[in-house]
């Protein structure tokens, strides 16, 4: 009886049917109570029915070829239903917060900040040997004891600090500062490291063996480790800079017609946490990309996988645009491999159509740069 009271409630429904009078007569004959009956138009009724009668009403409406739609509902049964949905969300939220809190009581990352003489690997190796690694409980960590264990790794350590920040264990190592050593120059000759055409020679010590406009090969002597006038010559460590035009040939195939895959701007992502090697997903990607770029981002607790959609796009480049794009791309690639003081002073371009869609672009870059190093060769 108590359950029947809970199930009491009213439903406001809209019924679309051709013969509304026949339907109302059927309700009266079947002892189905209806309330607040309103006729919106010739074939539409709006009325209230008891929750317990809804299944029977729907059956009769459908038998007569009509349709029924719930507009509003009230009563204890519906209140409890809504509370159940809200309670599920609340319980889920509480469980999520509990998981996050539980995870926050563990160390999930170890960061080692060193300078130059002590390799981070040595610090991590020592930490592993005393059981300090990702997945360890914060309560089992004694930072003072860890600092004592790490102090004797190297004589280069001036001091170190171990701290827990969030779910990360941070180790900061300050190294001893050794006085700078004076640079020692070796006796011998300076030679060219590559072939080129000499532009300028700056001799700081020694005697220049080349002059502007001269063509040289790799291994040619450019500055001798000798100085002084004839008859009073003496040897010394040579030093200097020799600027020359050097040559680099690069090529690139450019598609001028056809299709290519480019990012559309659409993206999706997975978000998960990793616990002892197992992935627990908080969000899964729902978009189904046919072609995509995948990028994985690892965090201290949360990890993310990004998916960038790629779609086919038509290509219709003019020859001039294709050549210009190829030169820019090849020059950027070349400059990444050169020293900062090197600069491109000229470009010699050649092109060849391989087929209807592909253009081969060849470029000889003339690069002005220093062609000697500080390493000497014997006299």
- For residue 122, what is the domain's CATH number? 3.10.20.310
Q: Are residues 247 and 292 in the same domain?
A: no
DSSP of 280-310: EEEE------SSEEEEEEE-SSEEEEEEEEE
What range does the domain containing 144 cover?
109-175
Predicted pLDDT at 79 = 58
DSSP 97-123: HHHHHHHTTB--EEEEE--SSS-HHHH
The answer to the question of residue 144 being in a domain is yes
How far apart CA 269 and CA 77 sit, in angstroms, is 39
Same domain, 323 and 251: yes
Residue 101 lies in a domain: no
CB 123 within 8 A of CB 150: yes
Q: Is there a domain that residue 324 lies in?
A: yes
Q: How many Å apart are CA 242 and CA 189, to the nearest integer?
A: 13
Whether 88 is in a domain gets the answer: no
- Quick one: 272 and 144 in the same domain? no
**pLDDT at 196 (0 to 100):** 93
- Is the Cβ–Cβ distance between 21 and 66 less than 8 Å? no
- In which element (H, E) is residue 84 found? helix 76-103
Q: Mapping DSSP to helix (H, G, I), strand (E, B) and coil, where does residue 144 land?
A: helix
329 and 228 in a common domain: yes
- Rounded to a whole number, what is the distance in angstroms from the first to the last CA of the chain? 113
* Residue 327 and residue 349 in contact, taking contact as beta carbons nearer than 8 Å: yes
What are the residues whose beta carbons fall under 8 Å from the beta carbon of 293, sequence distance 6 or more? 263, 307, 308, 310
Query: What's the CATH code of the domain at 25?
Result: 3.30.70.260
Give 221's contacts (C-beta < 8 A, 6+ positions apart). 189, 190, 191, 209, 377
Query: Given its phi and psi angles, is residue 210 left (phi above 0), alpha (psi -120 to 50 degrees) or beta?
Result: beta
- 243 within domain boundaries: yes
Residues 311 and 321 in one domain: no
| CB-based contact 189:242 (threshold 8 Å) | no
State both tokens at 44: 């539409």
- Among 297, 315, 333, the domain-final residue is 315
| Structural domains in the chain (count) | 4
Q: Would you say residue 94 lies in a domain? A: no
What are the DSSP calls for 71-83, one per residue?
EEEEEHHHHHHHH
Instruction: Give the span between the Cα atoms of 300 and 76, in whole angstroms.
Output: 47
Distance separating alpha carbons of residues 26 and 23, to the nearest angstrom: 5
Q: Do 205 and 144 have their domain in common?
A: no
Residue listed under structure tokens 């870059």: 365
- CA dist 281 and 147 (Å) reads 36
Tell whether 190 is covered by a domain. yes
Sign, CA torsion 156/161/162/163: negative
Q: Specify whether 217 is located in the same domain as 354.
A: yes
Q: What is the chain's pLDDT, residue by residue, as a tens digit (379 residues)?
A: 444 444 567 888 898 888 888 888 888 888 888 888 888 887 888 988 887 888 888 888 888 888 888 887 775 555 555 666 666 777 777 888 888 888 888 888 888 888 877 888 888 888 888 888 888 888 888 888 888 888 877 777 888 888 988 888 898 888 777 666 656 667 888 999 999 999 999 999 989 999 999 999 999 999 988 888 777 788 888 999 999 999 999 999 988 888 888 898 899 998 888 877 788 888 888 888 889 999 998 876 788 999 999 998 888 888 889 899 999 999 999 999 898 889 999 999 999 888 888 999 999 999 999 999 877 666 5
Tell me, yes or no, whether 289 and 323 share the same domain. no
Q: How far apart are CA 86 and CA 77, in angstroms?
A: 14
Instruction: Mark which of 290, 315, 340 sits at the end of a domain.
Output: 315
Closest CA to 44 of 13, 11, 15: 15
Q: In sequence order, what are the beta bridge partners of 234?
A: 227
Task: Clarify whether residues 15 and 117 are in a common domain.
Answer: no
218 by DSSP, 3-state: which? coil
- Tokens 């029915």 locate to 49
Residues 241 and 373 placed together within one structural domain of the fold: yes
Contact between residue 134 and residue 163 where contact means Cβ atoms under 8 Å apart: no
Q: Which tokens hold the place of 236?
A: 């010394």
One domain for residues 252 and 364: yes
Q: Could you tell me if residue 83 is inside a domain? A: no
* Number of neighbours of residue 360 by Cβ within 10 angstroms: 14
Tell me what pLDDT residue 244 has.
94
As a whole number of angstroms, the distance between CA 318 and CA 316 comes to 7
């Amino acid at each position: 009886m108590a359950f029947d009271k809970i199930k009491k409630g009213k439903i406001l429904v809209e019924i679309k049917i051709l013969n509304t009078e026949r339907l109302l007569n059927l309700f009266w004959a079947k002892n189905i109570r209806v309330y607040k009956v309103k006729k919106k138009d010739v074939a539409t009724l709006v009325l209230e029915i008891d929750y317990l009668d809804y299944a029977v009403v729907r059956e009769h409406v459908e038998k007569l070829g009509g349709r029924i739609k719930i507009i509003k509902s009230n009563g204890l049964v519906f209140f409890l239903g809504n509370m159940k949905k809200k309670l599920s969300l609340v319980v889920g939220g509480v469980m999520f917060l509990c998981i996050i809190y539980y995870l926050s009581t563990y160390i999930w990352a170890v960061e080692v900040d060193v300078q130059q003489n002590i390799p981070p690997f040595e610090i991590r190796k020592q930490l592993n040997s005393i059981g300090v690694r990702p997945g360890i409980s914060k309560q089992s960590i004694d930072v003072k004891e860890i600092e004592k264990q790490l102090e004797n790794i190297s004589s280069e350590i001036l001091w170190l600090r171990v701290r827990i920040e969030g779910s990360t264990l941070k180790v900061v190592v300050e190294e001893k500062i050794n006085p700078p050593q004076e640079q020692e120059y070796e006796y011998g000759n300076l030679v060219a490291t590559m072939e080129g055409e000499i532009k300028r020679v700056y001799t700081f010590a020694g005697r220049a063996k080349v002059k502007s406009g001269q063509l040289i090969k790799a291994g040619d002597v450019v500055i001798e480790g000798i100085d002084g006038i004839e008859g009073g010559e003496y040897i010394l460590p040579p030093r200097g800079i020799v600027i020359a035009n050097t040559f680099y040939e690069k090529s690139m195939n450019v598609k001028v017609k056809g299709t290519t895959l480019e990012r559309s701007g659409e993206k999706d992502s997975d978000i998960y946490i990793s616990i002892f090697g197992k992935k627990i997903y908080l969000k899964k990607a729902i978009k189904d990309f046919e072609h995509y770029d995948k990028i994985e981002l690892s965090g201290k607790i949360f990890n993310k996988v990004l998916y960038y959609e790629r779609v086919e796009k038509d290509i219709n480049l003019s020859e001039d645009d294709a050549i210009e794009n190829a030169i820019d791309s090849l020059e950027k690639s070349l400059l990444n491999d050169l020293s900062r003081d090197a600069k491109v002073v000229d470009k010699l371009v050649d092109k060849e159509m391989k087929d209807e869609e592909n253009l081969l672009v060849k470029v000889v870059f003339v690069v002005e740069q220093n062609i000697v190093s500080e390493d000497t060769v014997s006299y």
